[in-house]
Structures are given as C-alpha cells and as structure tokens.
Structure 1
Amino acid sequence: MAKTTNWAAIDRDPRFQALHKKKTTFLWSLMIISVIYYFLLPIGAAYYPDMFKIKVWGPINVGILFALSEFVVAWTIAAVYARRANRQFDAMAAEIVRDVA
C-alpha cells in the first residue's frame, strides 16, 4: 500500500515556513540582480551609445561584449542558485520530509 504524505502538516511546520521564506528572499534577490543587469543593456545603448560603440577587437565593440555578458550573468545566477539549493535548501527540505515520514 502506498504511503500518502501529509502536506498540511509539512505546510504548518515552522521549519518549512523558514525554508520557504529563505528561498523566496534568495530568489527575489537573484531576480532583482538579473532584471537590473538585463535592463542595463537597452539603457546603456540608449543613453551611452558612444561607450557601446568603442571597438575592442576588430568588429567587436563594448555593446556586443555587454550583450554576450548577459549569458554569462544568467549562467552565473543559475550556478549560484543551484549551489545554494544543493547545500542549504535541499538539506532543510530533506530533514522536514524525513521527520514527517
């Protein structure tokens, strides 16, 4: 017979609420950083076009490098989240699940 999980008990657990708050705060922080960085590209292109036109190497300019850096920032944010989730959030969740089971 399959065992059912008491989700209401998990939701009421103060450790789950603390986990949810920590995770939400962390995710909002990452979201704010990513949105600010994302909008720096069109803002920079609109208000500082001379800076974005500076040639770095051949046809490559600061604008192209900044646009490509968006990928680096996105992957870095994903790596930061994965590291925090693997080290902290998953351990907290596993403890809650173990105690409920």
Structure 2
Amino acid sequence: MSDPMVERIQRNPKYQQLKRTRSRYGWTLAILMLVVYYGYIGLIAFDKEFLAKPMGAGVTTIGIPIGMAVIVFSIVITGLYVRRANGEFDRLTREIIEEATK
C-alpha cells in the first residue's frame, strides 16, 4: 500500500537535496552545541579555580558570563536554524510539493 504521491516526492532530486542539507545542517548545529555545553561542563569539572576568579573588584566570577554565553549561543543557533528552515527549507518543500502534484 504505497502512496504514489509519496513515491514521487521521494524520487524528486530536490527532496534528496533537502533531506541531505537539512540533516547535515542540523547535525552541525547539534555538534556545535554539544561542544560548547560539554566544554562548559568540563571547565566546571576540571578547572573550578578559573571559573571562580572574580571579574574586577566585584563579586561576579568569570563563570557567570561564560555560562550566560552558553545560553546566548543556544538561542543564536536556534535562531539560525529557524531562519534557514523558514527560508530555504520551506521554499524547497513548497517546490517539491508543487512538482509532486502536477
């Protein structure tokens, strides 16, 4: 019980390109996020003294802005993915559907 529409979509070279590009982009961003997150966790585990150093004359330590940078980084890469998904990926999806319904 194979749907002919699904088969047409899967044979479309644009669909193969979309699948490949989206997967590669997603994995790249995921790996970047893992490196940043586990890098921060590694600093916490292995170099507490560095993160505990105060910044200037205040009570804020170096670990606070680094931790905030991890959060901001995750927001930025999410925004990058959403921007590309709403642009390039959605455009390709529309083209694939249009070609499959002809």
TM-score (ref. length: structure 2): 0.85
Unaligned runs of 5+ in 1: none
CA deviations 1:24-50 (Å, max 9, x no partner) are 000000000000000011211222222
Question: 1:65, 1:50 → 2: CA distance?
Answer: 15
Identical-pair percentage:
24
Bigger strand share: 1
Structure 1 residue runs of 4 or more that deviate by more than 4 Å after TM superposition = none
Give the aligned length.
98
- Work out whether 1:93 is the aligned partner of 2:101: no
**RMSD value, Cα:** 1.8
- Work out whether 1:81 is the aligned partner of 2:81: yes
Unaligned runs of 5+ in 2: none
TM-score (ref. length: structure 1): 0.86
Alignment of structure 1 residues 9-88 onto 2, 5 Å: 9-56=8-55, 58-88=58-88
C-alpha displacement of 1:95: 0.6
Letter in structure 1 aligned against 2:92: M
